[in-house]
Amino acid sequence: MNLPAAFVPGWLSLAATILMLLALGHAWRQAAHGERRRPTSPHLLGGLIVGLSLLWLMRASPIQGSSVQMLGAALALFLLDAPLAVLAMSLVAVLDAAFGGSPWALVPLNAALHGLLPVLLTGMLVTVFVVYRPQWVATFDDARYLRRRVALTDRIDR
């Protein structure tokens, strides 16, 4: 986000800080519970955070008008689960400020607008697709793919 900190009113910074503290507390509890059920590779989490931090610092935009922050949040959600994605995107916002990409005063607002909001919107969008158009959200299933592949090679061998 390329807003000067002087243009952000104090009440908005305070509201973003409170929102992010509540969201991070909830995400931390949910992530700890989720990690016991399905552990995530620390290499995946670390690599995602480093990669997105570098893209944020470069202010890369793959398509005119698109935002790497929004695409990164969707990628984080699909690679991790929602609580870890929120935590990862918040850490990316902190690293962006630490390396001079944005002022420290904007970290909560950046984390809310480029981390929390896109993760929530992507999650809601996927939920709507799963309910109303499940054929659009087909996941890759190794067993289904390999079964079809083996059947095809058996017919060719005969």
Q: Flag residues of the chain having pLDDT under 50.
A: none
Are 61 and 110 in contact, with CB atoms under 8 Å apart? no
The pLDDT assigned to 114 comes to 85
Burial class (CB in 10 A: 0-12, 13-18, 19+), 25: exposed
Short-list 119, 110, 120, 87, CA closest to 17: 110
The pLDDT assigned to 143 comes to 66
The pLDDT assigned to 85 comes to 92
Query: Structure tokens of 15?
Result: 């509201």
- Determine the residue type at 119: V
The pLDDT assigned to 137 comes to 74
The pLDDT assigned to 41 comes to 81
DSSP assignments along the chain, one per residue:
----GGGS-HHHHHHHHHHHHHHHHHHHHHHHHHHHHS---HHHHHHHHHHHHHHHHHT--SSTT--HHHHHHHHHHHHS-HHHHHHHHHHHHHHHHHTTSS-GGGHHHHHIIIIIHHHHHHHHHHHHHHHH-GGGGPPP-HHHHHHHHHHHHHHHH-
The pLDDT assigned to 154 comes to 59
- Angstrom distance (rounded) from CA 7 to CA 1: 12
The pLDDT assigned to 90 comes to 93
Half-sphere exposure (Cβ direction) of 102: Cα atoms closer than 13 Å: 25
The pLDDT assigned to 2 comes to 61
- Angstrom distance (rounded) from CA 86 to CA 67: 17
